[in-house]
Amino acid sequence: MTRVVLLVALALSLAAPVRAQTAEDAGASAAERGRALYVRVGCYACHGYAGAGGLSGPRIAPDPLPAPIIIHYLRNPAGAMPAYPASVLEDAAVTDIRAYLATLPRPQPADAIPLLRE
The residues annotated as belonging to the active site are: 80-81
Query: How many Cβ atoms are within 10 Å of 51's Cβ, its own excluded?
Result: 24
CB-CB contact of 102 with 62 (8 Å): yes
Residue among 99, 18, 32 nearest 10 (CA): 18
Residue among 73, 60, 2, 6 nearest 34 (CA): 60
